[in-house]
A and B are shown apart, each in its own frame.
Chain A
Amino acid sequence: MEYFFELLFSGLTRGSIYALIALGYTMVYGIIGLINFAHGEMYMIGAFTALIVSSVLTIYGLPLPAILVLTALAAAVWAGAYGFTVERLAYRPLRNAPRLAPLISAIGMSIFLQNYVLLAQTPDFVPFPTLIPEFAFLEPYGGIVGSSDLVILAVSTLVMAALTLLIKYTRIGKAMRATAQDQKMALLVGINVDRIISLTFVVGSALAAIGGLLIASHIGQINFAIGFLAGIKAFTAAVLGGIGSIPGAVLGSFVLGLTEAFATGYVSSDYEDVFAFSLLVLILIFRPAGLLGKAAVEKV
């Protein structure tokens, strides 16, 4: 039974890691219907920014919680700026192009950003400091769950709640929903659609950056390519949960993470991906819109 709980927490950790990235994916898709393949790169850039900022702050000798908060802020702002720029350069000029064009542009952006970081920083793995402090009360359970596992789990749940509130109950959220429904109509009623879309990208990228910070601190190493695999998995999770749906992204991530953990634990880690993707196929056969997705009615 203890083994079951150990695997459960492994799965929850993986799931919440995927969720932190999947939330940004699903948000951008929900508003403008674009699969932003460069989203994984925002996660990677966030992690690199966090590494640089936290190293500098450590030199100044700040306490660990202050470093964590300031680093998270800096990474979010910096990655947000990247998100804004990427949208301006790569997606806005293609706003009225066929759907495939921005998709290709997103893949190009992803390759560009990876190689940019490879050249500007390093092709090697670099160590990432442990920014999440050890909690004393977890000590007896150290073999099962660590402090970074809990923090990641808590942050991804909080972010999901905050995003849901933002979209449901604020003016900006209302504008976002209007933009999602019909961009032309939203323009007609006086919504600055370009600004709303920019904002969506900034928020999505900032979330990915915070994810990058927490996950890098959990794993302890980063390089230019970490965004790719994490991005693919998070994308899978978002599709599983119903792309466009905020709670769906979190649910999908947990389902994916738990499947992988239990497949590893009770079968073999050789087959964790086989199980994860078989599950995806099965769910998409029976619920083509994903677990919590609404079947979209094509506008005519």
Chain B
Amino acid sequence: MSHTRHFLLGLAALALSVCTANPARAAEPIRIGVAGAHSGDLASYGLPTLQAVRLVVEEINAKGGINGAPVELLVEDDGCKPEIATNSATKLVSGGAKAVIGHICSGATRAALPIYRAAKVLVISPSATTPALTQSGEYPYFFRTIAADNTQAANQVEFALHTLNAGKIAVLHDKGDYGKGLAEYAQSLIEQSGKAQVVLFEGITPGAVDYSAVVQKIKRSGAEAVLFGGYHPEASKLVGQMRQKRLAIPFVSDDGVKDDTFIKVAGKDAEGVYATGPTDVSTNPLTKAYREKFRQAEGTDPGAFFDNAVAAALALTNAIAKAGSADPEAVAYALRTEEVATPFGAIKFDTRGEPVGIGFSIYQVNNGQFVQVR
């Protein structure tokens, strides 16, 4: 009985697959998932990336798809919430996604990755910067088109040691995941270099009414530069109080500070402050072309991570084309070996999945504007 049933079922399945596969062979679409925050308070991070992927895919489909197969997008909104991201991932996997562009937030990405790993789905994130995602080695099919947080710390330390020639450095952070992570990484890099010492390593309380005690402590430590990991509200208070207490040493911070609000709020105290931020690529012709397309479609300037998402979509589709299939092993190999032209210039990926060719630069506030210094 059970044998017959299995046999019949198998036969039926076979018939079904023959039925569906045959006529569809010419145009079996390649399904690519897009996951990120498309609603809620972090939608401003997710929506530009969705638009970017759509623009690239429309273009590819207009040219006849990848090796003749059209690209179909499966869009999932995870609201940047880890608990929703696991659902989104499950939906994308069961919907037949061969690869996923996303997720947007590091926390959501981390939550979703085990599901993709189990399903052998390749993931390429335009914006998740937590170092462990690639550097833990747990996710061989994870790539990103943004530099990891610790790249920033490496840039800052390099700059403080070799350009500012600081021998004593105070490292401060806001006790948050992002700021503290950066600060700890910077601390270990400074200590490894042997060229300078960390004379002070402290967390400050975000939102506190006064930072003068910690400023006095920096002064006493004899630091020749301050590295701060955190966001602009604390940075502007800290710089303001440093200048108030006649402490004129350089202040180097991160892309949480490289924000025009920082300059607006800190005013004249912002002058001369250094901050790392993504390298300016606005003169690259590819960048200009995609930003212009976005403007025509939406009527506004593209938001955060737009360029990164364009790069992710271009890299992924190029790799699928070069690999000749959407098999994750082959695509991953192509991503690592084939250079592709993106808004950041020609990029490829290293063995861990980090982009080679996308990085951070140091900016300095000069007359109320961030100017790239190197």
Contacts and interface: CB of A to CB of B under 8 A. Distances in A.
Interface stretch (A49-57, A162-170, A212-220): A212-220
Interface in B218-269: 219-220, 232-233, 236-237, 240, 244-247, 261, 264-267
Interface in A221-246: 221, 223, 225-226, 228-230, 233
24 contacts: A6-B212, A6-B219, A10-B212, A17-B209, A17-B210, A18-B209, A126-B264, A126-B265, A127-B266, A142-B246, A143-B219, A143-B245, A218-B209, A220-B237, A220-B240, A221-B265, A226-B207, A228-B207, A261-B212, A261-B213, A269-B202, A269-B204, A269-B213, A270-B202
Contacts of B213: 7, 10-11, 14, 260-262, 264-265, 269, 272
Contact of B236 (A13, A215, A220, A269): A220
A298 interface: no
A279 B204 CA distance: 19
B210 A219 contact: yes
A125 interface: yes
Contact of B207 (A17, A149, A229): A229
A60 interface: no
B295 interface: no
Contacts of B207: 225-226, 228-229
A233 B233 contact: no
B216 interface: yes
Interface string A15-32: 001100000000000000
A219 B209 contact: yes
A23 to B, nearest CB: 15
Given A146-B244, A221-B237, A14 B205 contact: no
Interface of B: 175, 202-205, 207-210, 212-214, 216-217, 219-220, 232-233, 236-237, 240, 244-247, 261, 264-267
B268 to A, nearest CB: 10
Given A146-B245, A149-B212, A264-B217, 6 more contacts: A13-B212, A17-B209, A18-B209, A127-B267, A143-B245, A268-B203
A176 B100 CA distance: 67
A9 interface: yes
Interface string A253-273: 000000011101100111011
Interface string A121-136: 0001111000000000
Contacts of B266: 127, 220
A40 to B, nearest CB: 12
A117 B353 CA distance: 44
A124 B209 contact: no
Given A219-B210, A220-B240, A10 B205 contact: no
Interface residues of A, number: 41
Contacts of B210: 10, 13-14, 17, 218-219
A230 B261 CA distance: 22
A3 interface: yes
A127 B262 CA distance: 9
Contact of A220 (B175, B212, B267): B267
B244 to A, nearest CB: 5
A127 B245 contact: no
A61 B27 CA distance: 72
Contacts of A143: 219, 245-247
B261 A270 contact: no
Contacts of B267: 127, 220
Contact of B208 (A220, A229, A268): A229
Nearest to B245: A143
A151 B237 CA distance: 19
A272 B209 CA distance: 13
Contacts of B232: 125
B261 A9 contact: no
Nearest to A123: B41
A73 to B, nearest CB: 23
Most-contacted residue by chain A among B204, B237, B245 (CB, 10 A): B245
A230 B205 CA distance: 12
Given A219-B209, A220-B240, A6 B202 contact: no
Contacts of A13: 210, 212
Contacts of A125: 232-233, 236, 261, 265
Contact of B265 (A3, A220, A273): A220
Among B209, B245, B247, B265, which residue has the most Cβ atoms of chain A within 10 A?
A: B209
A159 to B, nearest CB: 17
A264 B207 CA distance: 16
A55 B69 CA distance: 61
Nearest to B240: A220
B76 to A, nearest CB: 27
A14 B261 CA distance: 25
Nearest to B203: A270
Contacts of A9: 212
Which residue, A6, A11, A17, A261, has most C-beta atoms of chain B within 10 A? Answer: A6
A272 B205 contact: yes
B204 A215 contact: no
A241 B209 CA distance: 20
B205 A3 contact: no
A127 B265 contact: yes
Contacts of B202: 268-270
A14 B213 CA distance: 9
Contacts of A144: 245
A52 to B, nearest CB: 17
A3 B220 contact: yes
B216 A10 contact: yes
Given A7-B216, A143-B246, A269 B205 contact: yes
Contacts of A149: 212
Contact of B209 (A127, A230, A262): A230
Nearest to B175: A270
